[in-house]
Chain A
């Protein structure tokens, strides 16, 4: 394999750095989340609403309830992404565990947690990911589980690689795992990404930096937990997830 012909006429990292610095100076509408209008992430340009969202205060809105999932929605092997193929996937085996909480700190049991990720070489098992890194016949990279009675989820997988993308010249995403969660109300629905501690690509990545508040950004980064590592088997990471949503969802007893 040889490197592909680089993009030309695209913004450089320096251009994106300047745009990120400018966005940092503009306070986001909600410091806990990215502003959907974030110019350094260029695909957001045509995909963010220009109108302000319409506030809803109806305490009986449909959105204060949500779908539920149960034993038929997951299989026992779904939380181990290294299984299901004839061989072992390449890469560093890891486990990720954490609790799913609401904002009062109450653990959310029986919650569906879905994840997907690139393989160890940084390639997704998706036809539209054509960057010249090898696919792994033993790794697809999607999994799911239900949280236990303590609100805890647990996945075994391999550490994903960083990967290039075409936001700008020499753009690389830091290694990350995509997460999808529901909560007890549709308003708590959450899709996010988990990162690995100490990744040198953090300062260059407009997706992570779209969360402009540093303490909020830190909440997207897992911690290495040596007590979760298993001898001669896996390295352990811990990442707790707090679902937001309107205050009313916290006092509904469902």
Chain B
């Protein structure tokens, strides 16, 4: 349908703005369309200082969500947000997606959860995107049963004090859901709980 100006713009938006297309669930069958080769390999080839961030997605009964899609968007280690194109680079002979070339930093990752609800990306720890900012990985979560995707953030535990200062009103047990847990050097755990006990903090951008 051709967009018509919104007669009742929400939130005091200027009249005449177009109303957005509504969201719909990603459904159960995105697996042959959206995931791509190397989707979790955000760091370049041979990067000497990568980190792996991994975790599981859980539902409100603490069961794994095997049909979720986790997307990451982040700055590079210098805090630069000008991610290069080429995450879904194609082979020109077969038209298959072969993934990024391993040199340009695209800042974008996309991984489906496995049958146990697990996902992982190998990337670099982002730098501050402006002086004094606390760096993080921006996360979008899609799943069957989720009518509209959710946003959260992965903060690394080395910055926990800054994160607390950034969210002074957030109770400690809520704040903890935004902090990855260091398992060993370079390996961080970040579980996403869609509902219930220790439910992950999700964001709404105003």
Interface residues of A (CB under 8 A from B): 30-36, 38, 41, 43-51, 53-57, 60-75, 77-78, 84, 101-105, 112, 114-116, 118, 124-126, 128-129, 140-142, 144, 178, 180, 186-187, 189-193, 207-208, 210-211, 215-223, 238-247
A63, B59: Cβ atoms under 8 Å?
no
Residues of A within 8 A of B142 (CB): 191
B17, A221: Cβ atoms under 8 Å?
no
Beyond A46-B60, A187-B151, A207-B25, 12 additional contacts (C-beta under 8 Å) are A33-B20, A36-B150, A47-B145, A49-B150, A51-B199, A54-B201, A62-B126, A75-B92, A124-B32, A180-B34, A241-B21, A242-B21
B21, A192: Cβ atoms under 8 Å?
yes
A245 and B18 in contact (CB under 8 A), knowing A34-B148, A41-B145, A219-B3? no
B1-13: CB near A (< 8 Å → 1, else 0) gives 1110000001001
Instruction: Say if the beta carbon of B106 comes within 8 Å of chain A.
Output: yes
A47 and B65 in contact (CB under 8 A), knowing A53-B202, A54-B170, A101-B3? yes
SS class, residues of chain A in contact with chain B = loop
A32, B170: Cβ atoms under 8 Å?
no
Name the contact of B2 in the complex, choosing from A46, A116, A180, A238 (C-beta under 8 A). A238
Q: How far is the CB of A42 from chain B (nearest CB, A)?
A: 8
Instruction: Say if the beta carbon of B90 comes within 8 Å of chain A.
Output: yes
Instruction: Say if the beta carbon of B187 comes within 8 Å of chain A.
Output: no
**Interface centre among B23, B149, B206, by most A CB within 10 Å?**
B23
B22, A220: Cβ atoms under 8 Å?
yes
Bound Cα distance A180, B30 (Å)? 10
Q: Find residues 152-206 in chain B having any chain A CB closer than 8 Å to their own CB.
A: 167, 170, 174, 194-196, 199-206
Identify the closest chain A residue to B193 (Cβ): A49
Residues of A within 8 A of B200 (CB): 49
**Interface centre among B21, B61, B71, B195, by most A CB within 10 Å?**
B21
B27-66: CB near A (< 8 Å → 1, else 0) gives 1111111100000000000000000000000011101010
SS class, residues of chain B in contact with chain A = loop
Residues of B within 8 A of A216 (CB): 19, 22
B22, A63: Cβ atoms under 8 Å?
no
Smallest CB-CB A-B distances: 7 pairs: A43-B145, A244-B20, A70-B85, A116-B33, A67-B108, A142-B33, A53-B204
Residues of A within 8 A of B86 (CB): 69-70, 72-73
A68 and B32 in contact (CB under 8 A), knowing A103-B13, A244-B20? no
Identify the closest chain B residue to A43 (Cβ): B145
Q: List the count of A-B residue pairs having beta carbons below 8 Å apart.
A: 262
B199, A49: Cβ atoms under 8 Å?
yes
A223, B140: Cβ atoms under 8 Å?
no
A242, B205: Cβ atoms under 8 Å?
no
Bound Cα distance A214, B20 (Å)? 14
B29, A104: Cβ atoms under 8 Å?
no
Residues of A within 8 A of B206 (CB): 55-57, 246
A63 and B205 in contact (CB under 8 A), knowing A178-B30, A190-B23? yes
Q: Find residues 70-100 in chain B having any chain A CB closer than 8 Å to their own CB.
A: 71, 73-75, 81-90, 92, 95
Bound Cα distance A180, B142 (Å)? 11
A–B complex contacts, Cβ < 8 Å, 8 sampled: A47-B59, A62-B73, A65-B82, A67-B83, A240-B2, A240-B3, A244-B20, A244-B21
**Interface centre among B29, B95, B203, by most A CB within 10 Å?**
B29
A53, B203: Cβ atoms under 8 Å?
yes
B18, A218: Cβ atoms under 8 Å?
no
B3, A242: Cβ atoms under 8 Å?
yes
